[in-house]
């Protein structure tokens, strides 16, 4: 069974579908022929949809991807490069949040956008856990503190140990320096034995973070929680990831309390140019 069907009235046999196919499995044996995929090559399809997406005539429909489910790109909605650059440079890690819940629909929108992030060989095996309840987010932070307390005597680096001591002291003083009192937490996870599992998750979470900023939300990567999630059993249970999965990142999320006015200075890029 062919992976796609060709509308012979629409197909102009321009070969674009064959050219862009990353697996190079589509053939047009001669200029008069319509595109086909030889049966012995079907297994190499990564279902990326490029063949259907590039066809200017809408002539190709993948079995897995009805053309009606592939919306036209609205080029008029794409931002200018300087708008994107400003977005990328203006985003900040947010550590103070308003006492305001993010609507479930908006959380869904964030995830729905982030699922368009690239994945190695189009695996699309990134998964999410969204903690919507602020009390539960606070409970997760308390678990990270529990773990930090237990690890404190084992931290070899003096400065790091002092840093951790300060976080514990702050917690005991009613200040959350782990998840920063954020109302929500979004955890990204994947099967550990997939190639590029971590990279896929990190890219997806970065997509989510940038889109969240564009939607007026604030985020901050939850590094302490991510580390603790690899070791602390009660936290692992609270995250409830499937067997064989690992938390590869998490972001706190909510409405930012403060608006930033300036873009802080960053190190010059360390680049080796070769020509």
Ligand X SMILES: Cc1cc2nc3c(=O)[nH]c(=O)nc-3n(C[C@H](O)[C@H](O)[C@H](O)COP(=O)(O)O)c2cc1C
Q: Which residues bind ligand X (CB under 6 A)?
A: 92-93, 95, 220-224
Nearer to ligand X, 52 or 228 (CB): 228
Closest separation in Å from C-beta 218 to ligand X:
10
d(C-alpha 256, C-alpha 94), whole Å:
6
Closest C-alpha to 236, from 168, 110, 147: 147
Closest separation in Å from C-beta 135 to ligand X:
20
Closest separation in Å from C-beta 52 to ligand X:
35
Nearer to ligand X, 105 or 174 (CB): 174
Closest separation in Å from C-beta 171 to ligand X:
13
Nearer to ligand X, 105 or 264 (CB): 264
Nearer to ligand X, 62 or 220 (CB): 220
Cβ count near 61 (within 10 Å) = 18
Closest separation in Å from C-beta 183 to ligand X:
16
Nearer to ligand X, 51 or 209 (CB): 209
Nearer to ligand X, 21 or 229 (CB): 229
Nearer to ligand X, 38 or 223 (CB): 223
Residue with smallest beta-carbon separation from ligand X: 223
Closest C-alpha to 133, from 106, 112, 104: 104
Closest separation in Å from C-beta 226 to ligand X:
7
Closest separation in Å from C-beta 85 to ligand X:
15
């Amino acid at each position: 069974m062919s992976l796609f069907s060709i509308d012979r009235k629409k197909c102009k046999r321009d070969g674009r579908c064959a050219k862009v196919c990353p697996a190079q499995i589509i053939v047009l044996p001669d200029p008069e022929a319509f595109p086909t995929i030889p049966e012995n090559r079907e297994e190499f399809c990564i279902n990326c949809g490029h063949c259907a997406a590039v066809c200017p005539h809408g002539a190709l429909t993948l079995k897995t991807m009805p053309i009606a489910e592939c919306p036209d790109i609205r080029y008029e909605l794409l931002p200018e490069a300087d708008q994107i650059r400003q977005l990328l440079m203006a985003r900040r890690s947010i550590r103070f949040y308003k006492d305001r819940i993010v609507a479930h629909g908006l959380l869904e929108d964030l995830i729905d956008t982030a699922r368009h992030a690239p994945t190695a060989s189009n695996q699309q095996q990134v998964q999410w856990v969204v903690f919507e309840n602020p009390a539960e987010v606070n409970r997760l932070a308390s678990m990270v503190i529990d773990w930090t307390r237990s690890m404190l005597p084992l931290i070899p680096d003096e400065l790091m140990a002092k840093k951790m001591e300060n976080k514990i002291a702050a917690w005991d003083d009613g200040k959350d320096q782990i998840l920063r009192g954020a109302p929500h937490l979004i955890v990204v996870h994947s099967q550990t034995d997939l190639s590029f599992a971590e990279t896929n998750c990190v890219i997806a979470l970065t997509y989510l973070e940038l889109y969240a900023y564009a939607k007026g939300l604030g985020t901050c990567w939850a590094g302490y929680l991510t580390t603790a999630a690899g070791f602390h059993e009660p936290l692992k249970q609270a995250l409830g990831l499937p067997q064989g999965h690992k938390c590869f990142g998490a972001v706190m999320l909510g409405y930012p309390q403060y608006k930033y006015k300036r873009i802080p200075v960053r190190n010059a890029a360390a680049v080796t140019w070769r020509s």
